[in-house]
Amino acid sequence: MGAYVIRRLGYGAIVVFGVLFLLFILFFTVTSPDDIARKALGERVPPAVVEQWKINHGYDKPLFPAPGQWADNMLVEHYRRMLTFDFGRSDADDTPILERIRKGMGPSLALTIPLFVLSLLVAIPLALLVAFFRETYIDRAGVILAVLAMSVSVLLYIIGAQYLVGKVLHWFPISGFDSNPQVVVRFLALPIMIGVANGLGGDIRFYRTVFLEESNTDYVRTARAKGCGEVRIMSRHVFRNSLIPLLTRIVVAIPFLFTGSLLLESFFGIPGLGAITVDAIQGNDFSVLRTMVYIGSLLFVVGQILTDLSYALVDPRVRLE
Amino acid sequence: MTALLEVTELTTRFPMAGKEVPIVDALDFEVGRGEVLALVGESGSGKSMTALSLMRLVPKPGRVASGSVRLDGEELLNLPVRAMRRVRGAGVAMIFQEPMTSLNPVMRVGEQVVEAIRLHERVGRSAALDRCRRLFEQVGIPDAAERVHAYPHQLSGGLKQRVMIAMALSARPRLLIADEPTTALDVTVQAQILRLLRDIQEETDMSILLITHDLGIVNEIADRVAVLYAGRIVETAPRTALFENPMHPYTQGLLRSMPALALSGRRLPEIPGVVPSPSDWPTGCRFASRCSKVMAVCEGVLPEFRVQGPGHDVACYALQEAASRGEKKGVQQQEGAS
């Protein structure tokens, strides 16, 4: 198993390397070092100040390696900084990036962990229920509702809920955050509910498909033929076998709890890593953006490996070699 | 004493091409106590659906539409769901064609047999596991004590089928339905499994309904045979009578196409054509389009069963015609078939 993990880490390194490269190319295709400087300094600064800023921040070098400049260019510098975890300071406001990540992680996790757990607790039982009543009106109604829920944009959920619950009914504040745990619950309730509602349709449909697929297998027929009741078949035979495909979706999501939620955080004013990322995109803040993308890709690789390890836990046929 | 299993007019329908088609069409048969009845037919003849109908396990959207299935005189088709669950396993047990996929891959095989035992009897886990070990020994699984902890993928196909048989025996059923129990196995393993079934049948005096397309298997194990064609039984007979004197043209065709060592080197005769699809079964005899003795009357309505010998019933116009011709000759009448 050790060898297996090492090999997967090797593949992961290739993925991360590629992600960093694509990010660099894409970023500098749509924008330039001058744009970064102007975003940071404002539009009305003399060109000399912009040039000085670029020199201070290392944006004065050529983008790609060239003869005579194999080491001294932005791409190589990009890799060097990322691979040594030397994230530096934000281009936009000069704060140390590690500091911002440390501050943003708490609010992000306060949002994503309850959201993740609640989604599972709501979607899996509902999907089991719908699958249990397959081919009946309950099943059909469930699927139609799920597709409807999936078809509505998350933006509508956010704005609609902010208007209705926040502005008209005044049950919860529209947006904001507080470090006091008792107060913050009121701020987080709405984004968590919206997050659950937004994912519910797709989750239920996915889980239902998995459960139904397992319900049509030969061993389920065997269980019926030996006198198993339907509830027992669902809980002991179907559910245990369904864990294998379910884990693919669930375990892979766990590392991303750390990176927060882009949309929910920025709409609800939660100062988490998702909001930091959105601000970095809008502010041409390359140093922050690449750090967030880099961390995201590392977490992705970790998630993949965790998923494979979890297969070995639930499926006796899986051997990691 | 009545038969253990009495099936009358059993009809199972599936929606197909806009209408509900009878895949199993008004079947009548019996399985006596301690008897091995073989239900023989090509693929698509409705053999497996018959078995699932008896267990009330027909997959949706199919359904058992009408008829009667009596086990020891008890009607199964209108039994409440809970009572039917007690019948499955304890009254009628079943083993399937595919031992590879018929066991739950993430459960230890012992656990699966223990589950079957405890569904029908109030016994503790460890007592049930002990019984599972004895069952494994009974069905000839070597190292039974350790094998109960194995997962299905760690066992060979033959061993898996033995586990299935052990599971089927666990609640001491009165009838065992074996649906193509050896089709997926190697030939040498096939013979072992057949002998095992025969031995167990003799030890326990349980009845067996064996479903197969393989007449070789029928010859080895069956007491009586029912030949199924396109959802209907066309001939039932004791095994020896069927093999020595097959009467229905379809049965004759089946026997002729059976490979025998004596015939090696020659091309096997085949029955021309294929089983018609259930959605376009003719109103008359369903074998008519492939039959060498087809007559005008065959296209009309389905032929009735006629007794042709002791326990030997056949549904065929050609035989009835031949019989009546004989009578007519006897009273000196002109020969003239309609």
Q: CA B26, CA B251: separation in Å to the nearest integer?
A: 19
A contact set with B (CB within 8 A): 135, 216-219, 221-229, 236-237, 240-241, 314-317
Q: Which amino acid makes up residue B71?
A: L
Instruction: Please list every residue in chain A whose beta carbon sits closer than 8 Å to the beta carbon of residue B167.
Output: 222, 226
Mean pLDDT computed over A14-31: 93
Residue range B139-168, pLDDT digits in tens: 889 999 999 999 999 999 889 999 999 999
Most confident by average pLDDT, A50-64, A305-319, B72-86 = B72-86
Residue B36 has pLDDT above 90, yes or no: yes
Q: Which amino acid makes up residue B125?
A: R
Residue B262's CB: how many other CB atoms inside 10 A?
A: 7
Subunit contact B101:A219, Cβ cutoff 8 A = yes
Kindly report which listed range (A176-190, B235-249, B258-272, B305-319) carries the lowest average pLDDT score: B258-272
**Residues A289 and A92 sit within 8 Å (Cβ to Cβ):** no
CA–CA min distance A305, chain B (Å): 21
Q: Which residues pair with B70 in a beta bridge?
A: B6, B75
> By C-alpha distance, which of A258, A261, A218, A264 is closest to A241?
A218
Residue range B230-279, pLDDT digits in tens: 889 999 999 999 999 999 989 988 888 877 655 566 777 888 888 888 88
CA–CA min distance A221, chain B (Å): 8
Q: CA B244, CA A189: separation in Å to the nearest integer?
A: 81
Q: Percentage of residues in chain B with pLDDT exceeding 90?
A: 48
Residue B28 has pLDDT above 80, yes or no: yes
Q: CA B260, CA A85: separation in Å to the nearest integer?
A: 77
Mean pLDDT computed over A305-317: 88
Subunit contact B88:A227, Cβ cutoff 8 A = yes
Mean pLDDT computed over B323-330: 63
Q: What is the pLDDT of residue B263?
A: 58
Rounded to 10°, the helix A137-151/A97-132 angle is: 150
Q: Contacts by A199-202 with C-beta closer than 8 Å and gap 24+?
A: A199/A119, A199/A123, A200/A119, A200/A122, A200/A123, A200/A126, A200/A146, A200/A149, A201/A145, A201/A146, A201/A147, A201/A148, A201/A149, A201/A150, A201/A151, A202/A146, A202/A150
CA–CA min distance B52, chain A (Å): 9
Q: What is the pLDDT of residue A165?
A: 83
Place of tokens 């975890």: A85
Residue A149 has pLDDT above 70, yes or no: yes
Q: CA B48, CA A216: separation in Å to the nearest integer?
A: 16
pLDDT band, very low/low/confident/very high, at B334 (cuts 50, 70, 90): very low
What domains can you pick out in chain A, each with its CATH number? 2-83 (no CATH), 101-314 (1.10.3720.10)
Mean pLDDT computed over A94-98: 89
pLDDT band, very low/low/confident/very high, at A22 (cuts 50, 70, 90): very high
Q: CA B138, CA B143: separation in Å to the nearest integer?
A: 12
Q: CA B113, CA B149: separation in Å to the nearest integer?
A: 11
Work out the mean pLDDT of chain A and round it to a whole number.
Answer: 88
Mean pLDDT computed over B113-120: 94
Q: What is the pLDDT of residue B329?
A: 53
Subunit contact A226:B89, Cβ cutoff 8 A = yes
Name the residue in chain B with its Cα closest to that of A312. B106
Residue B332 has pLDDT above 60, yes or no: no
Residue B102 has pLDDT above 70, yes or no: yes
DSSP 3-state assignment of A213? helix
Q: Nearest by CB to B57, from A225, A236, A314: name it.
A: A225
B contact set with A (CB within 8 A): 55, 57, 59-61, 85-90, 93-94, 96, 98, 101-107, 115-116, 119-120, 151, 153, 164, 167-168, 170-171
Q: CA B163, CA B109: separation in Å to the nearest integer?
A: 7
- Provide the CA A71 distance to its chain's centre, in angstroms: 34
Residue B338 has pLDDT above 60, yes or no: no
Q: What is the pLDDT of residue A47?
A: 86
The edge-to-edge listing of strands for the beta sheet with B19-31 is: B19-31, B5-16, B63-71, B74-75
Instruction: Please list every residue in chain B whose beta carbon sits closer than 8 Å to the beta carbon of residue A217.
Output: 101
3-state helix, strand, coil split of chain B in percent (to 5) is 40, 20, 40
Token code pair at residue A174 = 């529209």
Q: Which candidate in B63, B98, B106 is best for mutational testing of the A interface (most A CBs within 10 A)? A: B106
Token code pair at residue A310 = 């979890």
Q: Which amino acid makes up residue B75?
A: E
Residue range B190-228, pLDDT digits in tens: 888 888 899 989 888 899 999 998 888 898 889 999 999
Instruction: Please list every residue in chain A whose beta carbon sits closer than 8 Å to the beta carbon of residue B211.
Output: none
Residue range B44-91, pLDDT digits in tens: 888 899 999 999 999 888 899 999 999 999 999 999 999 999 999 999
Instruction: Please list every residue in chain B whose beta carbon sits closer than 8 Å to the beta carbon of residue A225.
Output: 55, 57, 88-89, 93-94, 96
Q: What is the pLDDT of residue A227?
A: 92
DSSP code string of B67-117: EEEEETTEE-TTS-HHHHHHHHHHTEEEE-S-HHHHS-TTS-HHHHHHHHH
Residue B302 has pLDDT above 90, yes or no: no
Q: What is the pLDDT of residue B337?
A: 40
Instruction: Provide the number of CB pairs (under 8 Å) joining chain A to chain B.
Output: 77
CA distances from B82 to A134, A231, B88 (A): 20, 12, 10
Give me the residue spans of the domains in chain B.
Answer: 250-259+279-338
Work out the mean pLDDT of chain B and round it to a whole number.
Answer: 87
Strands B74-75 and B312-314: unpaired
Q: Percentage of residues in chain A with pLDDT exceeding 90?
A: 33
Q: What is the pLDDT of residue B327?
A: 60
Q: CA B139, CA B95: separation in Å to the nearest integer?
A: 14
Residue scoring higher pLDDT (B6 or A65): B6
Name the residue in chain A with its Cα closest to that of B94. A225
**Residues A210 and A246 sit within 8 Å (Cβ to Cβ):** yes
Residue B333 has pLDDT above 60, yes or no: no
Sorted by sequence, the CB contacts under 8 Å of residue B174 that are 6+ apart come out as B4, B71, B72, B91, B92, B206, B207
Q: Which amino acid makes up residue A149?
A: A
Q: What is the pLDDT of residue B1?
A: 59
Instruction: Please list every residue in chain A whose beta carbon sits closer than 8 Å to the beta carbon of residue B168.
Output: 226
Q: What is the pLDDT of residue B264?
A: 64
Backbone phi and psi for residue B13, each to the nearest 5 degrees, phi listed first: -115, 150
Token code pair at residue B137 = 């020994």
**Residues B289 and B273 sit within 8 Å (Cβ to Cβ):** yes
Token code pair at residue A77 = 């510098």
Instruction: Please list every residue in chain B whose beta carbon sits closer than 8 Å to the beta carbon of residue A215.
Output: none
Sorted by sequence, the CB contacts under 8 Å of residue B309 that are 6+ apart come out as B237, B241, B245
Place of tokens 């005008």: B296
CA–CA min distance A321, chain B (Å): 17
